Amino acid sequence: MSVDLLNFIETVLNGLMSGVMYSLVALGFVLIFKASGVFNFAQGVFALFAALTLVGYQTGQVPFAHLINELFGTNYHHWYASMPNFLAIILTMITMIALAWVIERLVLKHLINQEPIILFMATIGLAFVLEGVGDLMWGSNVKVLDVGIPSGGSEWLEQATIGLAPEGSDYYGMYVDVLNVWASVIAVVLVVSLALFSQYTKTGRALRAVADDHQAALSVGISLRTIWVLVWAISGFIAMVAGIMWGTESGVQFSLSLIALKALPVLILGGFTSIPGAIIGGLMIGVGEKLAEIYIGGFFQIGALENWFAYVMALVFLLFRPQGLFGEKIIERV
């Protein structure tokens, strides 16, 4: 196999892996949109908040320490030296569930039957509030997140593929980041679990009923508010998984909230209401942008295509298939 072909395969493979990382963020958007028709602009901040909270628990940081010390003249910073990863993850999950409940009580409850744009605006506000609260609670320092997931290039793959190149060629072997492989496995487990949950559990069926028709679900006794809390909690859990993956890759810092921008073209491609769509859309965006950066950018001697090329793909899709690949076509009677 020629080195060029091997490099092309490597680019596609890495694009797919990056795509999975985008899909992890997009999944949270889809779940909430399906169940409540709300486009949750705060999903990226959810991921940031979850990652901050996880590191905070891991390292025994006192929440709001700066504020407490400022108000009471104390000097508290840490409760304890460290906490086992498993326990810290459980506590973070509980925090995200509590957050979902608070959001339902303080925001959503008061906006039932409002226009979607009002709910969307509320989530924009929520994003800023949550970012500010995260800053106050845990501080803005860059935090190292390590939950034991290995990262770095896979030596096994490098060794396995080094012999594929023609003899005498200067080829290193194929590169894939192990962290991304883990992200892919976790994404598959998440999607399968969500599918099983929604197909085979009573709550899952209730969730689908709400997603299909709020009024009809209410008429058969399904509590809309309980479902909303549940769905926001699940999406908080997914945000935590995304936060762990992205935080492990780049450290936990406030730019993490901007990963939501990566999920938007994924949603446009895959459709706002489809879980498989979020995965397929993510994969397409991941591969598309990597190929664009390396091959189109390389050919025309231009760079930094990676970020905006995803939106070019999304725009093209909007022109020809506005509901996305797997989204529901919305037909409104007039």
Partner 1 sequence: MRIKQLIIGLTSAVVAISGFVEIAVADLKFPMLVYRTGAYAPNGIPNADGFVDYYKMINARDGGIGGEKILHPECETGYKTQVGVECYEKNKENAMVFQPMSTGITYQLIPKATNDGVTVYSTGYGRTSAKNGKVFKWIFNAPATYWDGASIAVRHVLKENLGNIKGKTIALVYHNSAYGKEPIRTLEVLAKKHGYKLMLLPVDHPGQEQKATWLNIRKSRPDYVLMWGWGVMNSVAIKSAASIGFPMDKFIGIWWSGSENDVLPSGMGAHGYKSLTFNAPGDNYQVHKDIKKYVFDKGEQSGDGSHFGTVLYNRGLFQAMVQVEAATVAQKIHGTSKITAAMYRDGMENVKLDAKRYQELGFKDFAPAFENTCENHGGSGLAAVQQWDAKAKKWNLITEYMYGDSEVVNKLIAEDSTKYAEEQKLTLRCN
> In the set 89, 137, 177, 326, which binds partner 1 (CB under 8 A)?
177
By beta-carbon proximity to partner 1, the closer residue of 300 and 320 is 300
User: Is residue 294 near partner 1 by the rule CB under 8 A?
Assistant: yes
User: Is residue 249 near partner 1 by the rule CB under 8 A?
Assistant: yes
CA distance 197 to 208: 10
SS3 letters for 137-194? HHCCCCECCCCCCCCCECHHHHHHHHCCCCCCCCCCCCCCEHHHHHHHHHHHHHHHHH
Site for partner 1 in 205-244 (CB under 8 A): none
By beta-carbon proximity to partner 1, the closer residue of 197 and 311 is 311
User: Is residue 102 near partner 1 by the rule CB under 8 A?
Assistant: no
> In the set 222, 254, 312, 318, which binds partner 1 (CB under 8 A)?
254
In the complex, what is the shortest distance from the CB of residue 65 to partner 1, in angstroms, rounded to a whole number? 7
> In the set 101, 175, 197, 311, which binds partner 1 (CB under 8 A)?
175
CA distance 169 to 6: 12
By beta-carbon proximity to partner 1, the closer residue of 215 and 301 is 301
User: Is residue 151 near partner 1 by the rule CB under 8 A?
Assistant: yes
User: Is residue 77 near partner 1 by the rule CB under 8 A?
Assistant: yes
19 burial (CB, 10 Å; 0-12 / 13-18 / 19+) is buried
CA distance 288 to 20: 13
Which range, of 112-120, 146-154, 274-282, 314-322, touches partner 1 by CB under 8 A?
146-154
**Separation in Å, CA 16 to CA 9, 26, 117, 287:** 11, 15, 33, 6
CA distance 33 to 66: 36
CA distance 14 to 253: 24
* Residue recorded with tokens 């993956």: 245
CA distance 228 to 306: 35
Site for partner 1 in 105-134 (CB under 8 A): 131-132
> In the set 66, 205, 208, 321, which binds partner 1 (CB under 8 A)?
66
10 Å Cβ neighbour count for 33?
22
> In the set 237, 246, 317, 326, which binds partner 1 (CB under 8 A)?
246
By beta-carbon proximity to partner 1, the closer residue of 104 and 293 is 293
User: Is residue 306 near partner 1 by the rule CB under 8 A?
Assistant: yes
The end-to-end CA distance of the chain, in Å, is: 59
In the complex, what is the shortest distance from the CB of residue 312 to partner 1, in angstroms, rounded to a whole number? 14
Q: Which tokens belong to 264?
A: 């938007």
User: Is residue 80 near partner 1 by the rule CB under 8 A?
Assistant: no
CA distance 200 to 137: 39
DSSP state of 257: G
In the complex, what is the shortest distance from the CB of residue 308 to partner 1, in angstroms, rounded to a whole number? 7
User: Is residue 69 near partner 1 by the rule CB under 8 A?
Assistant: yes
| Chain positions contacting partner 1, by CB under 8 A | 7, 10-11, 14, 18, 65-66, 69, 73, 75, 77, 131-132, 135, 139-142, 144, 146, 151-153, 172, 175, 177, 246, 249-251, 253-256, 258-259, 262, 289-290, 293-294, 297-298, 303-304, 306-308
